[in-house]
Amino acid sequence: MFTSGLLWLPYTKRGKVQTKIARRFSQNSDSRCNKMHQPLSLFHKWIQENNELVNKWKEQEGGDTLTRDQNQNHTCLVWHSSEFHKLCRKIQGIAPIADHTQLELTVVYNAGVCLIAQSQFLEAESLLTKATERILQMTGDGPFASDPPVFWKTALKSVGNTALNRCVMHLLCLQWAIWLATCKLQTIQELQNELLSVFETLSSGVWDEEGSAPRTKSSDIALPVMDQRRLIELLQICTFIAQGAERLSEGRSSEALSGLQSASSLPAPRTLISYTHLLSGSCLAHMSRPQMALQCYRMALETDSQCVCALYQSMLIYRQLGNTQAEIQALRLLHSTLMLPAAKEPSPAGVHLLPSSLLLQSQSLSSLLSVPSALSVLHSLALKCVLHERVAEGVEYYLDLLAALHSEDQHGVHAAGPPLPKLPELYLQAGAALLMARRPADCMALCDEVITTTLELLPGKVVLKEPEECEAETRALCEEVEDGVGMLLWVGAAYLLQGHCHTHLRDWKQAVTTYTRCFNLLVKVRFKKRGCQPQIPSADMMSMQGTDLCILQRLKGLSLAGRGISFTQTDQLREALRDLQLSIQAFPGAGLWCGEVLWRLGRKQEAVACWERTWSFTPHFSELSLAVYLQEPQSGPLLDSTELRRRIEELSPI
Amino acid sequence: VVIACPGPVTDLVESHDKRFLFVACACRVYRVSSQLLESRYEPSSRRWRDEFLSIFLAFAEEGVLSLLLVGSVLLTLSQRRSSWTLTLYGSSDYEVLRSVSLASGVVHNETGTRRRPPLTCVRSSAATPPPSASSSVSDGCLCLEPILFKRLFGIDAALAKSPVVLCGLPDGRLCFLPLRPPGSRLAVLHSLEQPVVFVGASGVTDNGRGHARCLVAVGEQGKVVLIQAEKGGAEGGADRTGFTEGCVPGPVACGCVDEKRLYYSTGSDLLVLDLPEESPERDGPSVEKSRVTHAALQSPSSLNVCRVLALAPPTREVELLGLSARGQLQRITLPVDRGDAGWPNAPSTPGGRGVRDLLSAIGDVCERAAALKAAVKSKNQILRRLNQVLNICFLLTADTNTGERDKPIGCRATASWSRLLEEDSLTLTCVLDNSSPYVLERGWTLSVAASPLSGPPAAGGQSPSAHFSFPFHGLHPGETLEVSLPLAAAGQSSLPVTASCSLSFSLAGLLGEEAAALPGLQPGCVSLPLNTLTVDWLHALRVTSPAHGKTPPQSGNTSDAIQAFLRSRRMGCGGAAEAGGERGRHAASVRVSAESLRDARALRASDADAPPDVGLSLLEWLLSEALGGVSAGRRRGDGNVVVAEGRRGEEEETTPTAVEVQVESSSVAAVCGLHHAVLTRIQVPEVTESGALSFSMVSRERLLQRIQQSRVSGAFGVGVSTGTVCQSLLSVYQELRENPLIVI
């Protein structure tokens, strides 16, 4: 990892040195021009013009890139682009001459780089093709195929081993960049051999050229706006990364892995190296080797500490492995990393023009690299904590989340990803967490807010439709109806939580009132089966969990049970028995209390039967999959099972 | 202090603490300290401008149109190439917090200037503690009734107690963006389908809560949308948000609302619209209610204040601030009692203020009256002109129906050679003669289409024709208009040329400049044909103008031009004629019977002092006659190129039976052209005469019989040798040669 970092240093220095040399050259040529009092030849004039443009750009780029705003940079780029184009047109205005070709191709290269940097790929492509055709016509070759790979193959062949070879290769590099940026990996694959040879030639040969450069007359060399060697290295690793991502998304993990691993030793910026590690990790995860994948993610993080995606992916693996503590730890790290202000890494000169993000635009890669927003991470962290017995911590996270939602700070929102649940949902979850943490007053306040906001909007009558039917209808109408049901369920849940709070505070009377409100609200919902009239849903209509109907039944059961328990506490046993018996149909957990009431009423045999039935009952879905506010309250009066069993034993001898 | 901004200012907002002024101008946003504006510091303009650019620049934003300050966030709405972008900046460090884009739709008003799209902020009144003032405006945000707020912007925004930014785009969409919770999207609330001019809130309840119950949006073409929360009917219809649309007349320039009324300016008047009062029980039959609402939206009442460009909402009960197009800041006192007529009542406050107000009201009325008077006057003018046009139309069309009488409006023409820019060209001088009793006013155009009768077809396959139009500024009865148009440079034209004259009138000219600027206006045009003139070879070979009488002054210039012209014709004939030179002189002759000639001359009785010499007079007539309106001068055979003259040989006989006109030239084209010209001229009077048969026709028929005979015998080959057939044909030929056809 460090080697790659070190490798980059000399490049930066070299860039500066080059700039200085170039500046001196241009000064020299200026002074000479003044002394001689005679105009330069057209050829030299063009070279001078090109070099001035390049130097201007480099000066700009080398300046305060961090403070410069994006807008200004862009206008500067547009200006340079048009200037290079003008120069290019001037040069191409005369018939191709062998002496000028090198200059012409360098100017075309510069113009092409500027166009690509502005994402004008089509224009750049036509520029490159036309320029190459022009040069090749000069060498006397016939018409060329319109198919790009064939065109470039013949172009390379016809140039052969002449001095032009290198220039054409540079143009091919730009074409390569265009293919990469427009995700034409198939074409790159077709030309794999040629591109590889180009890579080898250019990455090995530049040094020689540089060594011989001072020997030739300095002003005869047109400078490139972006170092070609840098470009080809960038292209090489970006191609590996894009190909890896593509293969991974197609399910060819092992193929992808080999390419990525070879790419990880290439000289490249840290960010790209960390991408190779990250993608290798994803490949390994796909090949069900979670531990090795974790290793890779770690390497990615070590290479580039900004690589949050690696953290996120490791979190997903921990979740998959069921390692909750590690998952929570990863979530916490991820959140704090996301909240850090993104440190602007000073990128080496010459890379501003074509940043790697421009070359890596494939859908599959961006989906692999996507990370949910900080708020979304905070929410999962809070929920995980609450569900896994770290309630106090979870409550803090929830409060942080709500505070963040209310603040005007919009930091860390830009990331795409799953949207946050609706606010009332978050409020209810936070309320449930607060209740678990024995802070009923806070919970009540949150629920109050949900109720006051939503109550006004509740429709008078709600019809809940079967999901299948719902899909058949128009989507908009369906959403509207769902919205009504959703709001009603939120208010119901808020009342339920408030009831729990009152129970927790042993304010039985208030609890009964609140549970009643909840229940009254819920019976407004009619269920509509296909072809039938809307009806009040009965307990036997249990449907898939997670649907509105399931939540509705659960709410009904819990509210009835809660009211029954409250009645029990105030010794209104008849009412308690009625409520609990009704509740059992929707929520079997109330069976114990039902037995208790029966016991107190002296119907001991029935009570025993009731208890036995409850114990033998296995819930057909896990409580964990339900929303946190729909779970059985743990704070109210509890019945001790051993005590009940003792009672049964006492009863049985008789 | 006067600050010169570097470009047109699109928007201006004041910070909440009134210490700064944010100015959006020329793709940049500047922050100017208010203290500076109040100071007496007078900077030198040039340096000041540079300082302004550097010191006050807050940030650059491409295409910024509107600004809004909400809390510590500064919002900008800008128009980029194909999208609207709402960008949130922290108002202290101008860091971009967020940027939301919406693809721009069709902008309806393309001709209009870039107007500032309204950008406002809305809060739920439940989210803010009720402000002490009864105004619905608190820190720049409108306070909206919670239920309406929730309906419109969702529960999330309500729970987050978020301010919502409303913006009315020039493409008619009314969009909103809740600032919280983070990640909420820009959504479209409604579409007015015309540029949104104003967004505000009205219907403030007076029970001290201070929130508005109605959101009002006004479009440029007068569409008014009221957005209210509606309670569903008793029969259980769901509650919903009511969008009531109405239309008020006139282009709306600006608007503002107070508790019950919408004020808007159409530029020519300031109008008040009573917004429909929401009934307290809110459960009337919705159909009737919407009808009432609609009726209310139909009837704005006028305040008689014109040219108001911007309005500030009433600060007190009865006062409105307006900025007029003339730069006047007006305080408009509103009528207190809506019962009486819509006339600004002078407040009962004593003294000079009442008088001042009255005077200003009178001034306004005067201004309006003057504008109306001018409009009526210009309309009368247009009607009068239209009447003239119609008269002329009827005059010219009636003539074509009744016959070939001379039209009261007609065109004459003279062809002459002139030298322009070192090049000789044949110029046709048309004279439009208005002998009708009507004036041809501004808006009429004389158009002349010159098209060669025969010529090389142009690339499109049509014969090339040139169109000339001469708009003129009024031609009174008896006046003439003379225009010149180049027919052709020497050597380029192909004669003869037909020039069709017509008069046309463009209706767009009637309506004046403002109508002509309308993009959708189809230019309606009345075109009346006048007459058709022919310019042929004889005109082209004219040496003198008729004004000079019969003595031709040999103007070298003109004859040079004719020489050049003829030379070019010869070139056109190809090398053979050139090589032929003097040898190959071509000739053609036309014979005219003396009788018909005499008749023809009798027709021209005015020519009383015509010489008895028939041949000479014919020649003179040919060259000078004004047939078809083109008059040509007398011409003698000029030089070695063309000879066209009456054969005196024929005249020597005591009773000349015919006059022969012979055309002779070395150029075939010249001969053909002249021959054609002579023939057409002679034929035209013949048509007018009684068609007497010539005796020579009889002899021609005899000859025809002889030819047929010899052909029949030749075909059968019965006893007749080929020699005799040849003999017979030769004799026929000789007879034809000796007695050429005489035109009668």
- Residue B421 touches partner A, C-beta closer than 8 Å: no
Confidence of residue B648 (pLDDT cuts 50, 70, 90): very low
Element holding A167 (H helix, E strand): helix A164-181
Question: pLDDT: is A219 or A254 the higher one?
Answer: A254
pLDDT exceeds cutoff 90 at A397: yes
CA distances from B709 to A459, B701, B706, B731 (A): 114, 12, 5, 13
The pLDDT assigned to B340 comes to 39
**Nearest-by-Cβ selection for A459 from B97, B180, B238:** B238
Q: What is the CA radius of gyration of chain B?
A: 44
| Domain boundary pick from A174, A198, A226 | A226
| A287 and A255 Cβ atoms separated by less than 8 Å | no
Considering the domain architecture, whether residues A204 and A249 belong to the same structural domain is answered as no
User: Model ipTM?
Assistant: 0.70
Confidence of residue B501 (pLDDT cuts 50, 70, 90): confident
Considering the domain architecture, whether residues A425 and A364 belong to the same structural domain is answered as no
- Domain membership flag for residue A357: yes
- The predicted model gives A34-55 an average pLDDT of 72
| Domain boundary pick from A226, A248, A271 | A226
- Domain membership flag for residue A384: no
A–B CB contacts, 8 A cutoff, strictly below: 75
Q: What is the mean pLDDT of chain A?
A: 77
pLDDT exceeds cutoff 90 at B373: yes
Question: pLDDT: is B649 or B243 the higher one?
Answer: B243
Query: Residue A568: which domain range?
Result: 421-651
List the one residue out of A411, A344, A72, A423 whose CA is nearest residue B88: A411
pLDDT tens sequence across B182-193? 777 788 888 888
CA distances from A492 to A487, A565, B154, B340 (A): 9, 18, 19, 54
Considering the domain architecture, whether residues A151 and A53 belong to the same structural domain is answered as yes
Considering the domain architecture, whether residues A192 and A167 belong to the same structural domain is answered as yes
- Domain membership flag for residue A200: yes
- The predicted model gives A307-311 an average pLDDT of 88
Say which amino acid occupies A608: V
- B97: chain A residues, CB-CB within 8 Å: 409-411
The two tokens of residue A307 are 């690589």
Considering the domain architecture, whether residues A524 and A626 belong to the same structural domain is answered as yes
Q: Are residues B147 and A419, on separate chains, in Cβ contact within 8 Å?
A: no
List the one residue out of A548, A544, A543, A560 whose CA is nearest residue A495: A560
* Chain B nearest CA to A381, separation (Å): 18
- By DSSP bridging, strand B444-452 and strand B497-506 are antiparallel
- The predicted model gives B537-551 an average pLDDT of 50
CA distances from A421 to A447, A479, A522, B143, B680 (A): 16, 16, 22, 27, 97
* Chain A nearest CA to B239, separation (Å): 7
Most confident listed range (A53-67, B74-88, B420-434, B612-626): B74-88
pLDDT tens sequence across A544-574? 555 777 888 888 888 999 999 999 988 888 8
- Domain membership flag for residue A394: no
The pLDDT assigned to B16 comes to 78
Residue with tokens 């007609």: B410
Considering the domain architecture, whether residues A110 and A257 belong to the same structural domain is answered as no
C-alpha–C-alpha distance, residues B228 and A575, integer Å: 45
- The predicted model gives A501-520 an average pLDDT of 91
Confidence of residue A473 (pLDDT cuts 50, 70, 90): very low
CATH number, domain of A354, equals: 1.25.40.10
Q: Are residues A427 and B73, on separate chains, in Cβ contact within 8 Å?
A: no
Question: pLDDT: is B553 or B566 the higher one?
Answer: B566
Please list, in sequence order, all residues whose beta carbon lies within 8 angstroms of the beta carbon of residue B386, skipping any fewer than 6 positions away.
B510
C-alpha–C-alpha distance, residues B380 and A126, integer Å: 63
C-alpha–C-alpha distance, residues B594 and B602, integer Å: 12
* Chain A nearest CA to B156, separation (Å): 5
- Residue B59 touches partner A, C-beta closer than 8 Å: yes
C-alpha–C-alpha distance, residues A26 and A221, integer Å: 11
* Chain A nearest CA to B183, separation (Å): 6
Considering the domain architecture, whether residues A435 and A494 belong to the same structural domain is answered as yes
**Nearest-by-Cβ selection for B155 from A404, A413, A454:** A454
The pLDDT assigned to B491 comes to 54
Q: What is the CA radius of gyration of chain A?
A: 36
| A628 and A383 Cβ atoms separated by less than 8 Å | yes
- The predicted model gives B161-174 an average pLDDT of 87
Q: What is the mean pLDDT of chain B?
A: 68
* Chain A nearest CA to B637, separation (Å): 59
Considering the domain architecture, whether residues A429 and A362 belong to the same structural domain is answered as no
- The predicted model gives A455-479 an average pLDDT of 60
Task: Identify the burial level of B243 via C-beta atoms within 10 angstroms of its C-beta, where 0-12 means exposed, 13-18 middle and 19 or more buried.
Answer: middle
- Domain membership flag for residue A635: yes
Considering the domain architecture, whether residues A356 and A471 belong to the same structural domain is answered as no
Q: Are residues A69 and B60, on separate chains, in Cβ contact within 8 Å?
A: yes
How many separate domains does chain A show?
3
The pLDDT assigned to A1 comes to 38
pLDDT tens sequence across B65-120? 888 888 778 888 888 767 888 888 877 777 777 778 887 766 554 444 567 888 88
pLDDT exceeds cutoff 50 at B380: yes
Q: Are residues A423 and B73, on separate chains, in Cβ contact within 8 Å?
A: no
- A425: chain B residues, CB-CB within 8 Å: none
- Domain membership flag for residue A390: no
Q: Are residues B150 and A457, on separate chains, in Cβ contact within 8 Å?
A: yes
* Chain A nearest CA to B8, separation (Å): 21
pLDDT tens sequence across B33-71? 877 777 666 655 566 666 666 677 778 777 888 888 887
Length of chain A: 654
- Domain membership flag for residue A387: no
Chain B segment 122-151 residues within 8 A of A by beta carbon are 126, 146-147, 150-151
Full DSSP string of B438-501:
S-B-BTEEEEEEEEESS----TTSSPP-EEEEEE-S-B-TT-EEEEEEEEEETTT--S-EEEEE
| Domain boundary pick from A226, A255, A275 | A226
Confidence of residue A197 (pLDDT cuts 50, 70, 90): confident
Considering the domain architecture, whether residues A337 and A486 belong to the same structural domain is answered as no
- Domain membership flag for residue A163: yes
Considering the domain architecture, whether residues A582 and A440 belong to the same structural domain is answered as yes
Considering the domain architecture, whether residues A108 and A185 belong to the same structural domain is answered as yes
Q: Are residues B159 and A423, on separate chains, in Cβ contact within 8 Å?
A: yes
C-alpha–C-alpha distance, residues A217 and A586, integer Å: 92
Q: Work out the widest C-alpha separation in chain B, in whole angstroms.
A: 138
The pLDDT assigned to A430 comes to 93
